[in-house]
Amino acid sequence: MRRSVFVRAAAAAALGAGPAGRTGGPAGPEGSGRDGSGEIRVEKVRDLTGPGITTRFRMEATDLGIPVRLPDGRMLFVFGDTFEEARVGGGWWRSPVGLYSDTSRLDEGIAWSGAVGGQHARQLWAYEHDNPLFTTMLPSDAILLGRSLYLHVSVHRGWGNVLWTEIWRSDDAGTTWRHTGARFPGDAHGGLFQLLTWALADDGHVYAYSTGYGRNGPLLLHRVAADALADPAAYVPWGRRAGSWGWGNPPTPVLDGGFGELCLRRLDGHWLLVCFNAAQARIEALVADRPTADLGAAYRRTLIHGAAWGEEGGARVAQPYGGYVVPGSRLDDLHLAVSQWRTGAGWPYRVMQFRVRGLRPG
């Protein structure tokens, strides 16, 4: 598939954000989950990518920005489809790419200290876009286990047509990457294991929520021993059989809906899941005391509402998606990397930093 065809197809999909005029509902649990006291306060801190911000890395147009803490204390942000000019399709197509940050005061705004690849942000590993087999590779989530980074990516033939997913590893803070050998078919679990997020628990397992790239599916839950992360056969599903939930049962949806990008993190003794609710064009937070908790009854709040172009402000963002938790966040002072793509025009196509205060689960 030629690059221009891929870009048009992706634009038509609109990343599940719906037409430009679609908006989300009022703040609150939106009919499910448990409300909390207090008001959610949301503010945009700054743009993280775009002209004058990431120009020196030759990456004016990009999205996602999945952050992970490095062993030396820095942060690495991993981005998806990236272009040199400030428009989708604007030269030197790369994915994934990475930027480093030394920022310690998140409220002052995240700043970049360098790029994977040196002076310019280069692709984390070599492959050609629009090759005879596939179009691009998109990152889902990153995790630090010991001193090793692991990155889950999906391999697309045209946006949303996932051929397979795989896991890559870096032992030098993201400078170089190697394939772990882990590969999952695109149709695994009915296509609901294409886009995932993960976090390490005290029991030595990594817990992973997943969904499909169609942005119209529910969430599944798996777990895997941390030392077996790169073994597809070691992933154990959570499911319901004969009226009871348990590990090893066929995977059963743990939350119905239509979801896109996911971010699971442990914060302040809770499990926080930030997800793009594509069906409602908004980014939500769910807070639970364990991964196997009933997400339908979890504390659930809207963080970012969809809005029409020209009507943005505060928590209202036109065509938002993503929503990745920045290391150093707290539940009551949450920082997110939020993406935005004006699909009809090709720009803005960028990542922004938002600050959320007021999450107060009981």
Which pLDDT value is given to residue 39?
87
Which pLDDT value is given to residue 362?
74
**What Cα–Cα distance (Å) separates residue 70 from each residue in 100, 102, 119, 150, 205?**
10, 10, 20, 11, 20
Phi, psi of 137 (to 5 degrees): -120, 130
Which pLDDT value is given to residue 160?
86
Please check whether residue 362 lies inside any domain of the structure: no
What average pLDDT does the structure give for the chain?
Answer: 91
* Cα 119 from Cα 56, distance rounded (Å): 8
Note down the domain range covering 253.
3-357
* pLDDT tens per residue across all 362 residues of the chain: 444 444 434 444 433 343 232 223 333 333 333 434 468 999 999 999 999 999 999 999 999 999 999 999 999 999 999 999 999 999 999 999 999 999 999 999 999 999 999 999 999 999 999 999 999 999 999 999 999 999 999 999 998 899 999 999 999 999 999 999 999 999 999 999 999 999 999 999 999 999 999 999 999 999 999 999 999 999 999 999 999 999 999 999 999 999 999 999 999 999 999 999 999 999 999 999 999 999 999 999 999 999 999 999 999 999 999 999 999 999 999 999 999 999 999 999 999 999 999 998 97
Query: For 275-301, how does the pLDDT look when each residue is reduced to its tens digit (9 = 90+)?
Result: 999 999 999 999 999 999 999 999 999
Cis peptide before 71 (omega within 30 of 0): no
Please check whether residue 187 lies inside any domain of the structure: yes
Please check whether residue 336 lies inside any domain of the structure: yes
Q: Are 201 and 212 in contact (CB under 8 A)?
A: no
Residue 274: beta bridge partners?
A: 263, 285
Q: Residue 165's domain is classified under what CATH number?
A: 2.115.10.20
Both structure tokens of 32: 């499910």
* Cα 100 from Cα 115, distance rounded (Å): 6
Q: How many domains does the chain have?
A: 1
Which pLDDT value is given to residue 38?
60
Which pLDDT value is given to residue 309?
96
Report CA 146 to chain centroid distance, whole Å: 22
Both structure tokens of 72: 């030396």
Please check whether residue 201 lies inside any domain of the structure: yes
**What Cα–Cα distance (Å) separates residue 35 from each residue in 27, 281, 307?**
10, 20, 23
Supply the DSSP symbol for 117: T
Query: For 51-60, how does the pLDDT look when each residue is reduced to its tens digit (9 = 90+)?
Result: 999 999 999 9
Q: Are 109 and 49 in contact (CB under 8 A)?
A: no
